[in-house]
Structure 1
Amino acid sequence: IAPSKASFWLQALRKEKSRDAARSRRGKENFEFYELAKMLPLPGAITSQLDKASIIRLTISYLKMRDFANQGDPPWNLRMEGPPPNTSVKAIGAQRRRSPSAVASEIFEPHLGSHILQSLDGFVFALNKEGRFLYISETVSIYLGLSQVELTGSSVFDYIHPGDHVEMAEQLGMKLPPGRGMSLSQGAVNEDGASSASSSSHSETPEPVESSSPSLLAPDNTLERSFFVRMKSTLTKRGVHIKSSGYKVIHVTGRLRIRMALTHSRSVPNQIMGMVVVAHALPPPTINEVRIDCQMFVTRVNMDLKIVYCENR
């Protein structure tokens, strides 16, 4: 009996140690994810609510965005002005003698980006060559009702109308699977519009495939892009026709970003890294309400421009 009791207590002790080790491992893992989330360029109120998968997705997108900024032409890395900071007496004296314009620049420049975004009647995003959002401004929630955290790292093809996948792929220089382009082009001219897209959005997203060779841009092609796509929207407005609900027409204007080349020969094609654009949401095509002033009246004419109705004003 004694050996059986000893084995029982030994087994219980091993289970307890295993649970403690697992608890300690989970605690260390949660702490590392917490520290990683704090390093993301997002407000603390947002990073504290992220799950582990979102933290990994946003971290990967941030690292890719850094490469997108530094390796593109022209590079976006911050330029250091003057010598590196030090603690010498001369440097301290120079800091005290800074001009008012330098102080004002230091104060206002960190907030300049947010002011520019607020002044734009739209939102900004950057896509890599696979069509994934490397960055999208938080103002996307104003025009589409979607969150910045949700979109970052996701594929743009998950948020645009299936009939516009061909257009987006062509603008990015991507190739669709064989036979996919014809079916998507037919969907673009379907009379059901967005209502037909709502049923096909539940199916597999026909995302373009990347070829084994990097995306290249012919030397004679332009980098500027301007096109229209329909993007998903969770905003609902009164008076909007049911066929256009769920999608908004977005005017996309921007420029392809190419990888910085060692040689500037015109005969060598440029490698496409992605695209940086400004998106403007167009108003719905139907206007059901027009505000009329006291000095205005309503009249109706037929195709022969004969008045068939006129108010008594």
Structure 2
Amino acid sequence: MICCRILELRKEKSRDAARSRRGKENFEFYELAKLLPLPAAITSQLDKASIIRLTISYLKLRDFSSHGDPPWNRDEQNIVKTLKAPPQCRSTMNLVQDVFECHQGTHILQSLDGFAFALSNDARFLYISETVSIYLGLSQVEMAGSSIFEYIHSHDHKELAEQLGLNVPKQSTSLSSFSSPSSATSDEGSSSAPNPTRSSTPIMDRVSVMSPNPSTGYDRCFCIRMKSTLTKRGVHFKSSGYRVVQIVAHLRPQYTYSSASSSSSSSSSSSQKQLPPLLGLVGMAIALPPPTITELIIDNDMFITRLSPHLKITYCEPRLSDMMDMPSEDLINKSLYDFCHAEDLKKLNKAHSDLLNKGQVLTDYYRLMNKHGGFVWVQTCATIICNAKNVDDQNIIAINYVLRFVFHRSFIF
């Protein structure tokens, strides 16, 4: 009896100690969550794993902003002092300007047709604006600290890795990468040979840090497909459950002091100058209009064309003649490549390839040749439209934005 009583007391004491330890732990997590730059309504609903993930992401973001080139050290003390100054010390115009600067970031995000984001050098989100919920229906809190590859179409992983300069090591062939004999024989017509591309380890766990080719520079512009809860499934065969966005970004190098740059410049010319390590990438994702859009406001500097999958023009709006010395009838049944400037053919070919693979694309700026000399700068947002009854019946609807009217009219190319 005495032994049983002692065991019960020990169990009760252990339970009390565990309860006290959990209480202290929950309190520390609660205090840590309050330090995050998020509304209290959000931090009060976070679990422990999310608090740790967001805390690590926030600490890395502070390092990303202060140690990058150029450093982002915004001086907020001057703004606060100005706002707290007596009314007679400041004019109405200065007060309006100070209030605007306090909310400048919010105004910029609201004016964008997309969302802003920052990636670490291992392709994880350090920051993503809350406007991502407007265009993709995704949560800012859930994406922060996660790998961008988790939200990208699997067929776009390779292109994204190349743009970021990430080396994805090929996983060694193992038993886990082979299909079992039962699964190989269960599918009729499937090959029994091992598939080396099938990997049990996700790509976000196999990437290294960013190390792009120096010749490519720091600027990036490309289109990828991102997960979207707002895209209706079954509407578009290329991007079901995804939305095409154009990424306009800049790789952010680490800040180097003048002493380090001077010492490197004084080194021998035979040794190649080392580029500073990259802290990550900062960019903006421009969401392209969904294929289901039925109404679109056409401005005076826009015109619509319909093309075949081979970029053969089948229809062009007559308003083209208001922007170029070329009637729309001259484009019918001709290839778009015939009117593209020779130096921009590579851009157009890349956009054409992305369009066929992803179903939608926003091209770079390219030049269309004018009939009587000169050219106009154009940017095109093209979408593949499929016939619901016949998948093979495809057309391309292109919205063309003319940036400026005819350049170099006296030159004939």
**TM-score clears 0.5:** yes
Name which structure has the greater RCO, CA cutoff 8 Å, separation 6+: 1
Per-residue CA deviation, residues 231-281 of structure 1 (Å, 9 max, x unaligned), is 111113499324422111110001110001133357331211111001011
Change (3 A) 1:166 1:98: farther
Determine which of 44, 61, 77 is the counterpart of 1:48. 44
Determine which of 269, 274, 278 is the counterpart of 2:284. 278
The yes-or-no answer on 1:75 pairing with 2:71 is: yes
The equivalent of 1:205 in structure 2 is: 202
Q: Distance in 2 between matches of 1:69 and 1:290?
A: 41
Change (3 A) 1:272 1:221: same
Note if contact 1:132-1:153 (Cα within 8 Å) is conserved in structure 2.
yes
Give the CA deviation at 1:14: 1.8
Q: Distance in 1 between matches of 2:255 and 2:94?
A: 31
State the AA in 2 paired with 1:269: L
Mapping for residues 133-148 of structure 1, pairs under 5 Å: 133-148=125-140
Over the matched positions of the two proteins, sequence identity in percent amounts to 55
Change (3 A) 1:39 1:150: same
Note if contact 2:171-2:199 (Cα within 8 Å) is conserved in structure 1.
no
The equivalent of 2:26 in structure 1 is: 30
Change (3 A) 1:140 1:130: same
The yes-or-no answer on 1:175 pairing with 2:167 is: yes
Change (3 A) 1:165 1:230: same
The yes-or-no answer on 1:229 pairing with 2:224 is: yes
The equivalent of 1:252 in structure 2 is: 247
Give the CA deviation at 1:57: 0.2
Q: Distance in 1 between matches of 2:47 and 2:295?
A: 46
Give the CA deviation at 1:110: 3.0
Note if contact 1:217-1:272 (Cα within 8 Å) is conserved in structure 2.
no
Give the CA deviation at 1:29: 0.6
Give the CA deviation at 1:75: 0.5
Q: Secondary structure at the match of 2:28?
A: helix
Change (3 A) 1:120 1:17: same
Q: Distance in 2 between matches of 1:46 and 1:235?
A: 22
Q: Distance in 1 between matches of 2:40 and 2:130?
A: 15
The yes-or-no answer on 1:163 pairing with 2:155 is: yes
Give the CA deviation at 1:102: 5.0
Q: Judge which range, 102-111 or 122-131, deviates more.
A: 102-111
Give the CA deviation at 1:80: 6.7
The yes-or-no answer on 1:99 pairing with 2:90 is: yes
Determine which of 106, 123, 132 is the counterpart of 2:124. 132
Q: Provide TM-score, normalisation by structure 1.
A: 0.73
Q: Distance in 2 between matches of 1:161 and 1:272?
A: 25
Note if contact 2:225-2:242 (Cα within 8 Å) is conserved in structure 1.
yes
The equivalent of 1:152 in structure 2 is: 144
Note if contact 1:228-1:249 (Cα within 8 Å) is conserved in structure 2.
yes
Q: Distance in 1 between matches of 2:200 and 2:102?
A: 43
Note if contact 1:239-1:288 (Cα within 8 Å) is conserved in structure 2.
no
> Please, which runs of 5 or more residues in structure 2 have no aligned partner?
173-196, 266-272, 297-313, 316-328, 333-413
Q: Secondary structure at the match of 1:131?
A: coil
Number of equivalences: 260
Note if contact 1:157-1:205 (Cα within 8 Å) is conserved in structure 2.
no
Q: Secondary structure at the match of 1:127?
A: strand
Q: Distance in 2 between matches of 1:80 and 1:114?
A: 16
